[in-house]
Amino acid sequence: MKPELNTRMSTVVPRGNFRWTVVIWLLLGGIINYLDRTNLSIAAPEMIKELHLTATDIGLMGSVFSWTYAFFQLPSGWLIDRFGAKRVYSVAVLWWSVATAMTGACNKLGTLLGSRLLLGIGEAPCFPTNAKITSHWFPKKEHGLATGIWDASSKVGPALAPPILVALMVGYGWRALFYITGIIGIVFILCFMKFYKNPEHSRKLSAGEMAYIKQDEQGIGRANEEQAQKRVKWSSLFKYRSVWGMILGFFCTIWIWNIFLNFLPLYLVKVHHLSIKDMGFYAAIPWIGGIFGDVFGGYVGKKLTDKGIATPINAKRMIIAVCALLSAAVVITVPFVSGLGITITLFTLALCFTSAITGSAWALAGDIAPPSMVGSVGSIQNFGGYFGGAFSPVIAGMIVDGTGSYSLAFITGGIIAGCAALCYWFIVKDPIVEQ
């Protein structure tokens, strides 16, 4: 028998907005996270020249990162739920910042692969931590908007990276990209460790705002539900249909995401013959669409919930399904256009729709999972995404080297992205409650 869902909308009025300052911390950390994984795509043209690499080698480095990142999602979620978000996040940021700086000292493919492996281990806890912190600091109806803001970091980082990192690379060489972004991460985490506190320990959070944040716990039968949720074991999460829908849906989403992340700058250089300096400007534009999609998707989800049109879960499922189909249509169209303007427009739309999916999917973890298991469910979903994303860069690189064209990579990527709509709409249904 399925558990009943309490769809009654809370009438608690928010008093204070301190909770939104927490999103700024998560946004900054996410930007640094993506600067540290995006710098490879910016440095790729110069690394290929200096170190005699191929497109397949660049794709292999992307895949090694993604495989490591994917598999370390599973212990990351458990560690976050067991030892706390702040503690795990602090160790993770320090780890990945050192790994980033190490990349600048590499001279061979083997050491480059090793540094990307270490980067994947360190970055794995970042977004599951964000999902956990969001569940602590926001009521469920605001999960989508808050998540959309910090998940926009995965687009702000790549948007900032081309113009800033290209300028650094032109002035100081490609190695400087890795040294500087590594140092930025270390400075950030030292500040985070000093200033961040959980809501129950924050002196700046008013009693009224705390009541607003905790309003979901005031629902009918909430106490009984929480007692049941405490019995959920980590291993039993894989027994739930909704969890598998999230795994498969994110697999499809991150497949195309990683193609953009690893090959967008290189595509503009090779196919549209842009100089390195021009690439820095044009490669940033599509990520602006990603920022808009992330935030707007969260805003639409909140409005659908506020107006009683859909429950928090169904609002996110609808956004994901529609945007997955639109993303697929746009990505498949890319190989059939030739002008730079229309290509950039399509890339911008594709990243806008894909970003709305990722933001809503991360927010969905807070709706599907019990409060004590948000980090675990979020990391399991992300495991599915980057398990698929681990294959896409190296397969895309092999296609490019073998055919001399990106067409097949985008067409197959678009089809796979569209399958995310099927997974999230038909498989993801109910929240996790132990029977």
Q: How far apart are CA 26 and CA 130, in angstroms?
A: 6
Report yes or no on 188 lying in a domain. yes
pLDDT at 8: 43
Q: In whole angstroms, give the CA distance from residue 359 to residue 356.
A: 5
Q: How many domains is the chain partitioned into structurally?
A: 1
In a domain, 221, yes or no: no
State the pLDDT at residue 97: 95
The answer to whether position 60 is within a domain reads yes
Domain-embedded: residue 1: no
Within a domain: 11:
no
pLDDT beneath 50: ranges in the chain: 1-10, 219-229
Kindly state the tokens that stand for 11: 């009438």
pLDDT at residue number 204: 83
> Can you give the pLDDT at residue 428?
94
Alpha helices in 311-406 (DSSP H): 312-333, 340-368, 374-403
**Confidence (pTM):** 0.75
Per-residue model confidence (pLDDT) at position 434? 57
Q: Is residue 214 part of a domain?
A: no
Q: If 0-12 CB within 10 Å is exposed, 13-18 middle and 19+ buried, where does residue 189 land?
A: buried
Q: Which domain holds residue 37?
A: 21-195+233-426
Q: Within a domain: residue 5?
A: no
Per residue in 58-102, pLDDT (tens digit) is 878 877 887 898 889 889 988 998 898 899 999 999 999 999 999
In a domain, 219, yes or no: no
Q: Report the distance separating Cα 35 and Cα 340, nearest Å.
A: 25
- The pLDDT tens digits for 313-372 are 999 999 999 999 999 999 999 999 989 999 999 999 999 999 999 989 988 988 898 877
Task: Identify the CATH number of the domain in which residue 419 sits.
Answer: 1.20.1250.20
45-54 own/partner pairs: CB under 8 Å, 24+ apart: 45/265, 45/266, 45/269, 45/276, 46/169, 46/173, 46/174, 46/276, 47/174, 50/174, 51/107, 51/108, 51/109, 51/112, 53/109, 54/397, 54/401
